[in-house]
Amino acid sequence: MPRAFLIVMDSVGCGGAPDAAAFGDAGSNTLGHIAEACAAGRAEEGRSGPLRLPVLDALGLGRAIELASGLTAPGLGAEPSGRWGAATEVSKGKDTPSGHWELAGVPVPWDWHYFPDRCPAFPDDLTAEICRRAGTEGILGNRHASGTAVIEELGAEHVRTGWPICYTSADSVLQIAAHEEAFGLDRLLALCAGLAPTLHAMRVGRVIARPFTGAPGSFARTPNRRDYAIAPPAPTLLDIAAAAGRATHAIGKIGDIFSHRGIGQLHKGRDDAALFDRLDALADTAEEGALTFANFVEFDSLYGHRRDVSGYARALEWFDGRAGAFLARLRPGDMALFTADHGNDPTFRGTEHTRERVPVLIAGTGEGPLGLCAYADVAATVAAHLGLSNPGPGRALA
């Protein structure tokens, strides 16, 4: 039986979303603008020269960027040997759950709740509930913030007072940062788990525990992050595969995004390098007919939000090298589909996700254009390859 590997390069968009202006993101293009910056010598920290992605470009990455946005990305002009296209999202969000659920066949049927960009960002009754569950007299933050920046700014006060650091962003999310020793990891996880039902009832997509360690000047987030996500409103590709008796493997934060539904085995790691080790291992060991669903988050978390163009380019080039070795391990009949959940253009204003189309690159099913398609077409395509029923409204592409 054939196997399928669905691989999400978190935030690696390619511009051109027809509704980008409605999100304040007109003109954003994560891949295209990184390629332009590299070609112009504006991304020279830790790397140099034009963006080099020979493996992904051979699958059709350059063509996907041009199809999505009309931009011819410098250095990405290979003649494709894979299937390639660009997908457009219909869910009314540019966040992690929206993108992943729709890629898995379930567009979001509701409007997410977003906290306003002001201080305080959270309503008084929610703040009181956080304090009650945390056993504190107050919270720190209570505004939109970058996670690393807010920990650096408020970490010392947090350790001194014991008050949790609570913040949000343009995503539908409540994030709570706390020191693993001074506050306690188990206490933080219990706090977030206890709050999650309240937030989910408000249509807030995720409550995220953000533990950190260290001392002032050297605070650092740990790998013990935990997302408490609202459950998808209908069976996803993972649910369909599991119900059919197929092995399902989730790499990275896929388990959290899908509330651990439809997942047989969860594979975690300290960083994207460790997660790619898990992916390589599954190329060798995943069962016949298995679905492996992976997320590589560091493009987004380390480089997109921080508007680090050089870092993003380095991560893309590293990933491309690993992708080549991974593809060489696949068995005849396997499908590997590379895509993304949204954009996060590091050349764009602000620090948030950007509304973009995303590339769809398929290895193992021949070559040729797929055209413009829908996120849900990804799920339909993977399901058809595995001989499963279609979980959503999409159509199979290959």
- pLDDT tens digit string along 105-115? 999 999 999 99
- pLDDT class for 171, splitting at 50, 70, 90? confident
Residue 195 in contact with residue 129, Cβ under 8 Å? yes
% the chain with pLDDT above 90: 97
Q: What's the CA gap between 326 and 341, in Å, rounded?
A: 21
- Give the dihedral sign, CA 255/258/259/262: negative
Confidence band of 289 (pLDDT split at 50, 70, 90): very high
- Helix (H) or strand (E) segment spanning residue 211: strand 206-213
pLDDT band at 88 (very low <50, low <70, confident <90, very high): very high
- Once rounded to an integer, what is the mean pLDDT over residues 369-382? 98
Pairing of strands 368-374, 165-168: unpaired
The pLDDT of residue 330 is: 98
The tokens describing 131, both together, are 């304090």
| Mean pLDDT, range 26-40, rounded to an integer | 98
**Which among 210, 129, 148, 204 is positioned nearest to 177, based on CA atoms?**
210
Cα 385 to Cα 5, 291, 294: the distances in Å are 11, 10, 17
Backbone angles phi, psi at 7, to 5 degrees: -120, 115
CA–CA separation, 350 and 305 (whole Å):
8
Query: Within 13 A of 32's CA, how many CA atoms are on the CB side?
Result: 23
Residue 308 pLDDT > 90, yes or no? yes
pLDDT score for 176: 98
Average of pLDDT values for 265-278? Answer: 96
Q: What is the mean pLDDT of residues 188-200?
A: 98
Alpha helices in 40-76, H assignment, sequence order: 54-59, 61-69
Q: Give pLDDT tens digits for 348-360.
A: 999 899 999 999 9
What's residue 337's pLDDT? 98
- Average pLDDT of the chain? 97
Residue 336: pLDDT above 80? Answer: yes
Left if phi > 0, otherwise alpha if psi is -120 to 50, otherwise beta: which for 159? alpha
User: Residue positions in the annotated binding site for Mn(2+)?
Assistant: 10, 300, 305, 341-342, 353
How long is the chain?
398
Binding residues: 10, 300, 305, 341-342, 353
Q: With bands split at pLDDT 50, 70 and 90, how would you rate the model's confidence at 170?
A: confident
Domains and CATH numbers, the chain: 4-109+233-386 (3.40.720.10), 124-229 (3.30.70.1250)
> CA-CA distance, 76 to 153, in Å (whole number)?
40
**pLDDT recorded at residue 8:** 98
Cβ contact 355:305 at 8 Å: no
164 Cβ contact partners less than 8 Å away, ≥ 6 residues apart: 130, 134, 136, 139, 140, 158, 176, 177, 178, 183, 188, 191
Could you tell me which residues come within 8 angstroms of residue 91 by beta carbon, excluding any fewer than 6 positions away? Answer: 98, 99, 101, 102, 107, 108, 375
Helix, strand, coil share of the chain (percent; to 5): 40, 20, 45
